């Protein structure tokens, strides 16, 4: 009977070690994925060293009064003379 108890304890120790190794691997994968997500987020939002610095010989990246033009809706177009 003592031999089967030793065998069971040995198996439980091996299982515990395997679970610990799996937990470490999951933690490393999570860190790697988080780094990738952060990198993609920065790329999507245009956050880079170049995006954070103004162009040379310029006081700012965009003029303070810059407004993007918008296109008129189809009903806002002027009528054409036929």
pLDDT score of 35 more than 70: yes
Q: How far is CA 33 from the centre of its chain?
A: 8
Domain count, the chain: 1
Task: Print the domain residue range for 1.
Answer: 1-38
CA-to-CA distance for 79 and 82, rounded, in angstroms?
9
CA-to-CA distance for 1 and 60, rounded, in angstroms?
82
pLDDT digits (tens, 9 = 90+) for 5-20: 899 999 999 999 999 9
| pLDDT of 26 | 96
pLDDT digits (tens, 9 = 90+) for 55-70: 677 665 555 555 555 5
**82 lies in some domain:** no
**29 lies in some domain:** yes
Average pLDDT, integer, range 42-57: 71
**77 lies in some domain:** no
The token pair that represents 58 in the structure block:
């310029």
**pLDDT band at 23, cuts 50/70/90?**
very high
**65 lies in some domain:** no
**72 lies in some domain:** no
């Amino acid at each position: 009977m003592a031999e089967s108890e030793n065998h069971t304890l040995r198996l439980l120790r091996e299982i515990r070690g395997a679970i610990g190794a799996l937990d470490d691997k999951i933690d490393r994968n999570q860190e790697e994925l988080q780094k990738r997500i952060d990198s993609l987020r920065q790329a999507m939002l245009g956050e880079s060293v170049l995006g954070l610095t103004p162009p040379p010989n310029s006081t700012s990246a965009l003029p303070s009064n810059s407004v993007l033009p918008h296109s008129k809706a189809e009903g806002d177009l002027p009528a054409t003379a036929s």
